[in-house]
Amino acid sequence: MDLLKKIRSTSHLTNKPKKAAALRSLENLIASFTGAPATAVAAVRFDLDVLHAFFNDPKPLKKAADCDLAWVNQATHKASKSRGSRGVMDHMIVLDGVLVATDGARLHWVENSGFPDGYITSGGHPKEVDGCYPNYLNVIPRSFGRQEPISVDSITNVRPHDVGKACTVLVGGCEFSFNMTSLMEALNGMKGAHIKVNGTGQPVKITDGRRNAVLMPLRR
């Protein structure tokens, strides 16, 4: 008999507890280890934290325009059977207070996020992830040759390509090709955003002073 069946067979509960009651029980268990020996805490604390986060992790806001977590999370690699996993890039992380996500083709980050350092769920809770996150600072150009205001509503010089969901944006006389979804998601919720560019084919930065994105132009 496995552990779960054993617990069920010996439990005095006749009905499945509600989420609030289960959460209180987990909080009581966590509180009971306050001041306990480190060895005793280490044995079960991680599992308790996982369960607590599972039960209490609120659904992330779907409107990325209103939520930094949801906005940054757009840039994580979306693992699937067909696309596979890219390890740490499947997750968001906070580094020195900066909330970061990248899928290798784009980068979103928000400075002074208010979250503690470490990997983080879409609901804002810490999570355990094996692996070292790549140095995202290496992909951000140190300077730019030109910048212009940009917004979803002001993009009138967008011409769809024949291939997939690509588009061309004209900035300072140069054409930059992007994945349309990535471009619109970067701009989503930004106010007073500027696009900063160097030459065609080089990384582009879009920022409103708080939310920041770097997009890699598509090869034509």
- Cβ atoms of 171 and 197 within 8 Å: the answer is yes
Buried b or exposed e, range 41-80, using 16+ CB within 10 angstroms: eeeeeeebbebbbeeeeeeebeebeebbbbbbbbbbbeee
For the chain, the structural domain boundaries read: 3-56, 64-135, 146-215
Three-state DSSP class for residue 108: strand
Give the residue-averaged pLDDT of 190-208: 88
**Residue 171 pairs with which residues in a beta bridge?**
174
Give the residue-averaged pLDDT of 87-116: 91
Tokens of 3: 């552990």
pLDDT at 201 over 50: yes
Three-state DSSP class for residue 28: helix
> What pTM does this model have?
0.67
Give the model's pLDDT for residue 88: 87
Give the residue with greater pLDDT, 156 vs 190: 190
pLDDT at 219 over 50: yes
Cβ neighbours for 54, distance < 8 A, ≥ 6 positions apart? none
Three-state DSSP class for residue 177: strand
Give the model's pLDDT for residue 81: 47
**Residue 93 pairs with which residues in a beta bridge?**
100, 119
Q: What phi-psi label fits residue 96: left (phi over 0), alpha (psi between -120 and 50 degrees) or beta?
A: left
Give the model's pLDDT for residue 64: 62
